[in-house]
Chain A
Amino acid sequence: MAASSPRTVLSVEGLSKRFGAIQALDRVSLSVAAGEIRAVCGENGAGKSTLVKILTGVYAADSGRILIDGALRVIQDPSEAQALGLAVVAQELSLVPELSIHDNIWLGNAKVPLFHRRRRFREESRRVMEVLGIGHLGLDTRVRELGIGERQLVEIARMLARDARVLILDEPTATLTDREIERIFSALAALKAEGRAILYITHRLGEVFAICDTVSVLRNGALVGTWRTDAIDRGALIEAMLGRALTDMYPEAAGAGGAAKLTVERLRVPGIVEDLALEAPRGRIVCLAGQIGSGAAETVRALAGLVHDATGLVAMDGRELPLGSVARAVAANVRFISEDRAEESVFLRLRTMDNLVATRLAEHARYGILSRSGLTATAESLARRVGVDTARLRSRADALSGGNQQKIAFGRSIRDDEPGLLLMNEPTRGVDVGARAEIYAMMRGFCDLGYSLVMTTTDLEEALGIADLIVTMYRGRIVGRYGRNEATMHRILADITHPAEVA
């Protein structure tokens, strides 16, 4: 049960922050009670991260007040935030992989004396781990050996050891599997029962309704409103975030599906994927659904030529597609959009236009000399087609939002003369809801051109919404195949977690 008498732990009043011409935060007021899980939603640039950074002392607010337990506080720097009991669990985990869980829990803790292996500290580590449901892990296990979900929990354990009373979680589930997400959720429920206040920042609307009590929506730096999650529905929430209604999140395929464009037989990635057979029709979206480790993502990577020891019979439009070489896959008109934008997709330090034409240099080169006007024209037309402002073509890609970066990755994949195969892993990871709708529309645009799309996602709602064919995978093998009207959340979830019960 929630705390008996809701007591406000943190409240902010009229917080504002301006960066140059941009009003990042505009007179935002909200408060969180003990035992409350408060979702904070909004598109990229809505002001969520600015709010977090002010609360943790990274930025100073231009105006406004922060009250903790009703007392006015000024947070000068992150160590003061820690002393006041405000703790943030960031997206990029700040654990040291080579140290033990115990060491990590106490790392950077102001209470720690020179030596921290004393029994009292070990007991405290043990206690916070029990609360979070990771009591079975050894205190001296190195963090390197843990999965991402467990690391996330260790990170939270560290905040508990600091006796954090307000926990700020910044998209904690973005990179987790469903199993891991379940564990985070039960840990959050335990924290709630302990009377801690939680600010939960997320793009995933499903999570807002699953675990949050209340939701605050920011838009363009201002607070749109705060609701109890049982008093608002999904459509209204999206409307609050976007400032407009979003009637058609997932567009459906137009026209009849074509014949198989891609056929895969006996695909094998040693140790990961076994004897996989797959067909992808022209003009349709095939979604491989499976958890991390199911082999879904590796299947897509193998088709993109990124897995060197993959073997199998793959044909596109009847022509054999060799595996193991990206260059040859690109030449055969296969394009791949990685889930890891910063590491494997976008050239952050290059200009937007250079990013857009990255796979099209060959067609603008004669004897190795590039045609600048040709490249510029191509970049401009691609930018217009994927909805990136052409004024931004000359600015660096790292100045763009996640959604815009993903649009670049899509733009790079367009080829008009001959529709090909578009492969995507987690196409909307870290993309806000508005840009997400644009990306789904873009995917249908590719279908209309005659492309065949193969994607993976760990967001089952997305799989059910956008896919024409869902192929479920478990431990490197296909479990089931479902058409658009056959799939249900229950069946998919059963397939990807407990294939034995289904068979």
Chain B
Amino acid sequence: MRLADASGLIFGRRRGALAVVRWIAVLALAVAAFASPGFASPVSLLTLLTEISWVGLVAVGMTFITIGGNIMSFCLGATIASSSAVFISLLDWGVAPAFAATMLYGGLVQGAQGVVIGYFRANPIIVSMAGLALIVGTANVLTGGTGVFAEGEAYRALKGKIGPLPIEFWFFLASVAAGQVLLSLTRFGREVYMVGSNLRAAEAAGIRTARVTALCYAFAGATASIAGVLIAARYGESHLDLDIGIDYQAIAGILVGGTAIEGGSGSVMRSFAGVVVIAVISSLLIFHGFSTAVQALVVGVAVLGVVMLQAVGRER
């Protein structure tokens, strides 16, 4: 038997095989989690849910970038951090106006990158790295490199729990719902899939592809800025270097959830599942006394594995 035949045999029913792998992994994870004493305690679950929410809010927006065919943005972590600073600086306006203005800021900062990518066909990765450098540079000049601290008490309304769950998690759930509705029920969502699947065909079908791309980025910026606001509210301060790297965890979640890196397929619900899985793995590792370095390693291996599975299973 030769290679082409063998791969046909193994990956011929690749969807089925992938689904089985997925369920076994989830099951194993759940068993490991609940077999770890203390993992299911209220305090640790609350911490877990809060962290899931921050990464998740970024992942929801990033999912649009990925499905729209632009892989990922390296700039969303910086968008979170700068959004925290913007929110804190604008708190004089009142919490709600500051919140809205921050979302606008996030939408504009990412949307501008989307415009560059959509209209000028610039490489999305490079643009996002330039965006990252610009934001970090500007913020350092403006703040002198120190943190920004919140004054007053009003912002504390965005901290704590509603019912049994942390506020962050409610915002995350709401963004998942909004993102999924946008993707699967609206014309815009359908156009995101088309642009991601085949840019030139979308163009020839009369879709305003550059606008779709810009909107994907603006949406990603808005959800990232929500995370920024919530982080500012929880800690009462903002540090630039705090949130860089969240975008990496978000893309890990998106890929593990099964959204295709080449665009044109995937969903927000998948990203939701992927983010939860990654977060549970990470916190399990911490629970069992592994360092954050090991954590990063494991996430890296998981992403690599998923990307390889996707590449191998792709039809030629």
Contact = CB atoms under 8 A, between A and B. Distances in A.
Interface of A: 19-20, 57-60, 76-77, 304-306, 326-327, 329-331, 336, 338, 343-350, 354, 358-359, 361-362, 365, 368-370, 372, 398, 412
A345 B187 contact: no
Interface string B8-23: 1000100000000000
Interface stretch (B79-87, B192-200, B297-305): B192-200
B190 A354 contact: yes
Given A343-B198, A350-B194, A354-B190, A338 B264 contact: no
B288 interface: no
Contacts of A346: 198, 201
B168 interface: no
Given A345-B201, A361-B190, A362-B187, A350 B206 contact: no
A58 B205 CA distance: 37
Given A76-B2, A398-B315, 19 more contacts: A19-B8, A305-B206, A326-B203, A344-B203, A344-B204, A346-B201, A347-B197, A347-B201, A349-B264, A350-B193, A354-B194, A359-B206, A361-B190, A365-B186, A368-B187, A369-B186, A370-B190, A372-B185, A412-B205
B121 to A, nearest CB: 13
Closest 3 A/B residue pairs (Cβ): A330-B206, A365-B187, A347-B197
B264 A329 contact: no
Contacts, number: 90
B2 A77 contact: yes
10 contacts: A60-B2, A330-B206, A344-B204, A346-B198, A347-B197, A358-B205, A365-B187, A370-B186, A370-B187, A398-B315
B84 to A, nearest CB: 31
A60 B2 CA distance: 7
Nearest to B204: A344
Interface of B: 1-5, 8, 12, 185-188, 190-191, 193-194, 197-198, 200-208, 260, 264-265, 315
Contact of B185 (A57, A338, A354, A370): A370
A338 B198 CA distance: 13
B197 A349 contact: yes
B204 A304 contact: yes
A329 B206 contact: yes
A412 B206 CA distance: 12
Contacts of B208: 327
A463 B8 CA distance: 42
Nearest to B265: A349
Given A338-B204, A350-B197, A361 B264 contact: no
B193 A59 contact: no
Nearest to B5: A60
A58 B186 CA distance: 44
A33 to B, nearest CB: 29
B197 A336 contact: no
A150 B2 CA distance: 34
B261 to A, nearest CB: 12
A344 B185 contact: no
B103 to A, nearest CB: 19
A15 B180 CA distance: 51
A212 B255 CA distance: 52
A58 B6 CA distance: 12
A77 B2 CA distance: 8
Nearest to A334: B206
A305 B209 CA distance: 14
B196 to A, nearest CB: 9
